[in-house]
Amino acid sequence: MPFRRMGIIIGLALVVGSLISMVLPESESKIEETLFNEITYQMGELQIVTDDLVKIRERLVGTQQVQVDAQLQTVADWLFEFRPQGETHEARKAYLIANRDRVVAMVEELRATRDALIGSNPSNTQ
């Protein structure tokens, strides 16, 4: 019987704790960590799509190759420039939000380019 009572008390404590955590605001460092993790995930997606584009690029000529080169250079520039910075939590959060949005846009743009190039030339899928 004491184990059952202890289990009920622990269960209630967990429920109350989770309800309280839902009401309290997230700490600034937790928000920054979440944003950085989102950027890190998108960097992985960016690597996959850029690897695909590099393979496809070898088979392209002319303006298509120039377009892919320009997009790949934009990605390279962003990767070299990305350094989480800011003196305050708000400045770091704003920087991370802007860069998260930028990397998401780059991934979407590169995917669209990759898909268009694969769709326009079926030999590129090999």
Kindly report which listed range (17-21, 25-29, 53-57) carries the lowest average pLDDT score.
17-21
Rounded-to-integer distance, Cα 115 and Cα 11, Å: 50
Task: Say which residue, 22 or 53, is predicted with more confidence.
Answer: 53
> What does the pLDDT read at residue 124?
44
Kindly report which listed range (11-25, 76-90, 94-108) carries the lowest average pLDDT score.
11-25
> What does the pLDDT read at residue 126?
44
Q: Which two tokens stand for residue 92?
A: 């770091």
Angle between helices 89-120 and 63-81 (to 10 degrees): 160
In the chain, the percentage of residues whose pLDDT exceeds 70 is 75
Query: pTM for the full model?
Result: 0.70
Q: Which two tokens stand for residue 95?
A: 């920087």
3-state secondary structure of 98: helix
Chain centroid, CA 101 distance in Å: 8
pLDDT tier, 11 (very low <50, low <70, confident <90, very high otherwise): low
Q: Which of 28, 21, 45 is nearest to 109 (CA)?
A: 45
34's CB contacts (< 8 A; 6+ apart) are 26
**Mean pLDDT value of segment 4-18:** 64
